[in-house]
Structure 1
Amino acid sequence: MGSELNFSFEKDESILLNKYLKDVLKLSSRLIRGAIREDRIMVNGKVARLRYELKKGDLIQVFIQKEEEQNIEPEKMDLDIIYEDVDIIVINKSPGMVVHPTKRFQSGTLANGLLYYFKSKGENCIVRLVSRLDMDTSGLILIAKNQYSHMALAREMSGESFKKGYMAVAHNKLSPNEGTMDYPIYRVGEGTIKRVIDPRGQESITHYKVIEEYEKGSLIQLRLETGRTHQIRVHLSHIGNPLYGDILYGEAYDDSSLISRQALHANTLSFPHPRTGKIINLECGLPKDIKNLIEKLKNS
C-alpha cells in the first residue's frame, strides 16, 4: 500500500469523475476539492478534472499524502505502538496522559509524542484522532495518518463493524452479572464536565459481563454501543457500581490507597481497515496499576 489510492473503472456506462468519487468511492467533498486543487487526482496517468467522463478501463489515482502542518510541538516520548501501517496507527495509551493539547496541557500529550514520531520517520503526517480516551483512562486509541483514512474511519464509527471493548474494576457486585445498561446521558450545563442520567439526554447503551467477583468489587468486560462522554463511568455509578478510583462519579468512596485513577482500560478494538475493508482486531493487556488493584481486592 502506498500514498495513492488506485481504482479501475469497469462499468460499461460512462460516469462523471466527480460523481464516481462521491457516490462510489464515498470520498468527502472536502477531500475531493483539495485533491483537485492540488492536482492529486489523475486518470490514466494524467491530471484529471471533475467533469471528465470515465470510460471502461480507465485507471483512477487519488494521491492522499499532502503537505500539512499542525500547531503542536513535537516531543520525544516512548509510545506503545500496537499496530501501524501507511494509513493508521494504534497506540496503547498510558494512564495520566492527555490525548491532545489543551490550554491547561500544552505539552506531554499523545499528540506531541506522535508528531515527533512521524517526523523522526520522515512521514508527512499530522495527528488525526479517530477515537479518544479520558486523561486517566488507559488503552487502545486509533489515529489516522492521512485525510482519507480519517474520513473512512469516521464514517464507520457508528457501524456494527467498529467495536470498542473495555475492562473495568467496579465497586460491589453486579446483579445480574451480564446485561445491558440503557440510560440516556445528559450534560447539566456548560460549566461542568459531569454527566447525569436524565430523560433529556442522548441515548446511551453499554453492554457488560462480569469476569471475576471479589468481596468488594467486580472485574467487568464492557462494550459500547454508543460513545457518549464518560458513558461507562456514568452508567456504572448509576446502578451502584462506580469505578474504583473515580473521584467524579464515585465520590462516596476513598480509593486513594488502592489506585490513583479510575480503573478503566480500553483493551479491545475492532474496525474495518480504511483502505482494504478487512477487519482489524486488536487487544492489549491490563496495565500494572489495575493488576495491582485486583491483587489487593483478592487479598482483602
Structure 2
Amino acid sequence: MSRATGPESGDAGRSTAPVVERQFVADRGDERLRLDQAVMRHLADEPGVSRTRVQRWLDAGLISVNGREGRRASSSLRQGDEVVVTLPTPRVRRVHAPEALDVPVLYEDEWLVVVNKPAGMVAHPTGRLQSGTLFNALLHKARDWEDATARPGLVHRLDRDTSGVLLVAKSRSVHARAARLLATDHASKTYLAVVIGKPPEDATITYPLGKIGERPPQVGVVDEGWPSITYVQRLRSTWPMPDGLALLECTLGTGRLHQIRAHLLAAGWPIAGDPIYRSAKAEAKLPPMTKAQVDALDGQALHAWRLVMPHPMTGELLDVTAPIPARLQALGVNPGGTWDASVARPRPATTPHA
C-alpha cells in the first residue's frame, strides 16, 4: 500500500513534491527475515531498492515498525507488525548545457572518444561550476554522434590544471567495460611532470596515501593509508630544462586521488607550479630565473601524455598520446632533441623509494 501526502497550501516556500509512504503488514513470509530483507521483499517494485539503501533509510529514521523508529536492520518482524517506509524525495537531476568549447579529439570510434583536456578546464560540473567544463564540451560533441541517445561518460578524471589524454565512453555499457579494463594491469597511464630538484634515474614510490584535507581535497602520506605505487623515470635534467628542474615520466601502478602530485612531493621532487603540493624549501633553492618561470606557471606542470589499453569492445590495442602543451614546452619539455616522445614507454622502475 502506498500513500502520498504533501504540504498544506499555506506553507509558502516549501517544496510541493509529495512525500510517498509505503505501508505493509508483516505476513508469515516475513517471520524468518531480517527487517531490511522484509522491506526489500515488499518494496521490490521500487527502482534501485537495495540493502544498502534500506540501511540508509533506517539510519535516517524513515522506517517505523508499529509506530516506532530506530529499529536495526538485523531485527526481526512478527506476523501482523505494521511497517511504514517514508520514501525520500528523489534528487532532481541537473540538466547540463552543451557548449562549443575547444577540446581536441585524439581518437574516436562508435564506442569511445579520447580527448586532449586543456589545462585549466574542470573535467565535470560541480555544485558551484555548471558551465565551461569538459563535460559541457562533450555534450556538444555528442550531437554529432550516430546514436542520438548516447551520453558521454568520463571513464577517469584529470585535475583542473592537468592537461592531456582523457578517455570518454559513449554509453553506460562501454563505460563499465572500459573502467574495469583501466583498473587492471592490461592498461597503463603515463604522465610527464616537470619537478623541482634532482631525482634519480628511476624510482618506485610506494608511500601509502590518505586524505589530510577537504577544502580543497588533499592527500598525503598516512601510515594506514591506501597502498599506492608510482613508477618514475628521469628523462631530462639538463639543458634545455631550466636549471634546478627535471623532466619525469610517471606511470601509475595504482590510481589514487592526486597520487602523482602527492607522491612526488613526499619523495622530495614537487611538481613545478603546483598550488597545493608545493615545497617552499625546494623553491627557495631555485636560481632566480628558474624561480620566475615556475612562478609564472598557472597550475602544476603535469601532463597526461599516454594511454595504452585494450579496446573494451574490439580487444585491439588502443595507444594514444597527447601533444605537449606550449606551457610545458616553454620549460624544455619538447619531443624533439635528445628525447623522442614517440619512443618513450611506460615501464616499471627498479629502485625502491619509500
Partner of 1:206: 230
Q: Secondary structure at the match of 1:270?
A: strand
Gap regions ≥5 residues in structure 2? 1-46, 48-92, 284-290, 334-354
Which residue number corresponds to residue 191 of structure 2?
166
Q: Which residue of 2 aligns with 1:242?
A: 270
Moved over 2 A (4+): 120-124, 188-192, 253-258
Structure 1 residues 11-160: aligned runs within 5 Å:
71-121=95-145, 123-160=148-185
**8 Å Cα contact 2:236-2:248 kept in structure 1:** yes
CA, structure 1 residues 140+112, in 2 after alignment: closer, same or farther (shift >3 Å)? Answer: same
Count of residues paired in the alignment: 228
TM-score between both structures, scaled by the size of structure 2: 0.61
In proportion to residue count, which structure has more strand? 1
* Structure 1 Cα separation of the partners of residues 136 and 183 of structure 2: 28
Question: Are the counterparts in 1 of residues 273 and 295 from structure 2 also a CA contact under 8 Å?
Answer: no
Inter-CA distance 80–191: structure 2 relative to 1 (3 Å threshold): closer
CA distance in 2, matches of 1:283, 1:186: 30
SS in 2 for 1:228: coil
- The separation in 2 between residues aligned to 1:204 and 1:235, in whole angstroms, is 9
Q: 1:259 aligns with which of 278, 290, 297?
A: 297
Question: Percent of aligned pairs with the same residue?
Answer: 37
Name the structure 2 match of 1:17. Answer: none
Provide the rounded CA distance (Å) in 1 between the counterparts of 2:162 and 2:212.
Answer: 23
Provide TM-score, normalisation by structure 1: 0.72
Query: What is the root-mean-square deviation in Å for CA atoms of aligned residues?
Result: 2.0
Match in the other structure for 1:65: none
Which sections of structure 1, spanning at least 5 residues, go unmatched? 1-32, 34-68, 296-300
Give the letter aligned to residue 303 of structure 2. Answer: H
Residue type matched to 2:125 in 1? P
* Cα pair 1:258 1:293 within 8 Å, conserved: no
Structure 2 distance, partners of 1:258, 1:91, is 26
CA distance in 1, matches of 2:106, 2:216: 34
Structure 2 residue aligned with 1:187? 211
Q: Partners of 1:70 and 1:154 in 2: how far apart? A: 24
Alignment-mate amino acid for residue 103 of structure 1: G
Cα–Cα, structure 1 residues 154 and 121, in superposed 2: closer, same or farther, change >3 Å?
closer
- Contact preservation (8 Å) 1:233, 1:249: yes
Does structure 2 conserve the Cα–Cα contact (< 8 Å) formed by 1:164 and 1:268? yes
Structure 2 Cα separation of the partners of residues 278 and 248 of structure 1: 39
Could you tell me how far apart the structure 2 residues matched to 1:195 and 1:266 are?
20
* Cα deviations by residue, 1:13-43 (Å, 9 ceiling, x for unpaired): xxxxxxxxxxxxxxxxxxxx9xxxxxxxxxx
Q: Once the two structures are superposed, what CA deviation does each residue of 1:251-279 show, in whole Å capped at 9, x if it has no partner?
A: 51366544111000000001111111112
Larger-Rg structure: 2
Q: In structure 1, what is the Cα distance between the partners aligned to 2:326 and 2:246?
A: 17
Native 8 Å contact 1:259 1:290 kept in 2: no
